[in-house]
Structure 1
Amino acid sequence: MGLRRRRQTAAAPAPHHAHAIELHGVQRRYGRGRTAVHALRGIDLALPHGSFTAVMGPSGCGKSTFLQCAAGLDRPTAGTVKLGGTEITGMSENTLTALRRARLGFVFQSFNLLPSLTVEQNVLLPMRLAGARPDRHRAHEVLAQVGLEDRARRRPGELSGGQQQRVAIARALVTRPDVVFADEPTGALDTNTAAEVLTLLRQAVDALGATVVMVTHDPVAASHADRVLFLADGAIADRLLRSPAHEIAERMSRLTARTPALAGAWAAEEAR
């Protein structure tokens, strides 16, 4: 089922902030001296509102660190991150936590639904955590958008994997966040169910004006995005505008061929 187009008044971000997310010179180093690991080596990036970006690369290339720094889950060693025009780099942990709860959405490979709560309660959880009054009308609105309006009283254990991921998408959208971060959202799903979930994320961008940043190793998943960023050794090594899966896979193969150390890591990813 496709997402329904929401009312225009609830749609767009503030017009004076052209970008949903900006990273300037972002570096992340773990450890010191000769044993230091440089997970990110100076990321410069600006993503507009209402866009869908896929981030690809083999294990150890910096994908997860990129997502964590961009979402304020980890602090860069150097550089700045802005979300919806707000710089988050120097925020206190309490302020940053409040911002994440109110202005960001998350979709994970493992769904991360609370089994003791109903579907509706899981969807309303971000509002409760942000200290806002739970809006049941809004919860049912987003559940209808993902085709689960008749499952509101069920518990996650009564749903299929694909339905649970739909609930996770509804939960991510319920606060109308600046950015939805998706970390391998189809990794635990079969091919057909994965396609349905990716179509929902695509429609969240096209119909609802959402901004999605998705980490994936799958060229088919990446083919749903407006742009693909290829990370290698902590840096953006290549970019590709919306393309079919075979072109994305070919570009990834060319990138790893230029870097022998990446080739083995990419082969390991593909074998998973």
Structure 2
Amino acid sequence: MGLRRKRQRGERSAPPAPEQRAPHTAPADWAVELRGVRRQYGRGTRAVHALRGVDLALPRGSFTAVMGPSGSGKSTFLQCAAGLDRPTGGTVHLGGTEITGMGENKLTALRRTRLGFVFQAFNLLPSLTVEQNVLLPMRLAGHRPDHRKAADVLARVGLGDKGRRRPGQLSGGQQQRVAIARALVTEPDVVFADEPTGALDTTTAAEILGLLRSAVDGMGATVVMVTHDPAAAAYADRTLFLADGAIVDRLEGASAALITDRMRALTVPAAAPTYAGAAAA
């Protein structure tokens, strides 16, 4: 049985669509902005073009899912957007700050304070308590741990009474809740999620996706999620489709069934992206 996103009455209106940037709009108005981003591995005839001139602008307080066939560039997109990999060409802005030419030390500091990450494997430190794992980004950034904030985010993810436990004492779903709390504790500009429900059963996955949805709607967070699951993508405000390193399509507020149909119809383009909005960005 697939996951289904339930919209509540009075839910806020959808944020402005990406790639429709007004001439007067400042970069700071966007949480994530990629302009002409290319990523090439190798040279000559063996060169692999993982990203081919991606143009993208995502508003603050939005939830975006990124899908595509295997080898379409999803992982490279996330790594370049999050400053984990450097593009071969183009620029990346996060919260109005260009990170493309940023030095490694400054980039590391930015990731620790202004970005949150949620991975499929949880990536919790088993020797630390739940609270200590949540506070880790603050400690790594050289800031004094805010125990009240840790307690608040743990309560938000339903783990208010688990702060002193170790990750090994928790279920997989609870460990992913800890990872979400860790990602949110610094109130980052963007939370990047890479297959956050890939290791979870359907029921637990629905709970985790509901938490990400609530972080957007209730806390104003911005979430960018790479996923292979149309049911997971249905929780997002929009779904972007990558093929051969380019954005080739987009759906707004689509159901899992519609997203599934679009994925089935998706073919790898031979050259330039067919998605007109990418060129108009």
Distance 2:69 2:191 in 1: 22
TM-score, normalized by length of structure 2? 0.86
What is residue 232 of structure 1 aligned with on the other side?
Answer: 243
Distance 2:53 2:250 in 1: 16
Residue 98 of structure 1 is aligned with which of 104, 109, 115? 109
Distance 1:138 1:160 in 2: 23
TM-score, normalized by length of structure 1? 0.88
What is residue 278 of structure 2 aligned with on the other side?
Answer: none
What is residue 74 of structure 1 aligned with on the other side?
Answer: 85
- What secondary structure does 1:42 align onto? strand
What is residue 163 of structure 1 aligned with on the other side?
Answer: 174
What is residue 252 of structure 2 aligned with on the other side?
Answer: 241
What is residue 29 of structure 1 aligned with on the other side?
Answer: 40
Report whether the alignment pairs 1:39 with 2:50: yes
Residue 152 of structure 1 is aligned with which of 153, 159, 163? 163
Distance 1:50 1:37 in 2: 34
Q: Note the aligned Cα RMSD (angstroms).
A: 1.3
Q: What is the one-letter code of the residue matched to 1:47?
A: L
What is residue 49 of structure 1 aligned with on the other side?
Answer: 60
What is residue 115 of structure 1 aligned with on the other side?
Answer: 126
What is residue 279 of structure 2 aligned with on the other side?
Answer: none
Distance 2:31 2:144 in 1: 25
Distance 2:141 2:70 in 1: 33
What is residue 65 of structure 1 aligned with on the other side?
Answer: 76
What is residue 267 of structure 1 aligned with on the other side?
Answer: none
Distance 1:238 1:127 in 2: 38
Distance 2:70 2:127 in 1: 34
Q: What is the one-letter code of the residue matched to 2:132?
A: Q
- Give 1:260 deviation, angstroms: 9.7
Gaps of 5+ in 2: 1-25, 271-281
Residue 30 of structure 2 is aligned with which of 19, 31, 36? 19
Contact 2:240-2:247 at 8 Å conserved across structures: yes
Report whether the alignment pairs 1:208 with 2:219: yes
Distance 2:96 2:171 in 1: 38
Contact 2:244-2:269 at 8 Å conserved across structures: no
- What secondary structure does 1:253 align onto? helix
- Give 1:59 deviation, angstroms: 1.3
Distance 2:49 2:144 in 1: 42
Identity between Structure 1 and Structure 2 (%) = 78
Q: For residues 6-59 of structure 1, give each alpha carbon's deviation from its aligned partner in whole angstroms, at most 9, with x where no partner exists.
A: xxxxxxxxx982100100000000000010000000000000000000000121
Name the CA shift for 1:124/1:250 in 2 (closer, same or farther; >3 Å). same
Contact 2:40-2:51 at 8 Å conserved across structures: yes
Q: What is the one-letter code of the residue matched to 2:189?
A: D
Q: For residues 185-220 of structure 1, give each alpha carbon's deviation from its aligned partner in whole angstroms, at most 9, with x where no partner exists.
A: 000000000000000000000000000000000000
Q: For residues 144-178 of structure 1, give each alpha carbon's deviation from its aligned partner in whole angstroms, at most 9, with x where no partner exists.
A: 00010100000000000000000000000000000
Name the CA shift for 1:41/1:177 in 2 (closer, same or farther; >3 Å). same
Q: For residues 80-120 of structure 1, give each alpha carbon's deviation from its aligned partner in whole angstroms, at most 9, with x where no partner exists.
A: 00000000000000010000001000000000000000000
Distance 2:160 2:70 in 1: 37
- What secondary structure does 1:17 align onto? helix
Distance 1:242 1:119 in 2: 34
Report whether the alignment pairs 1:183 with 2:183: no
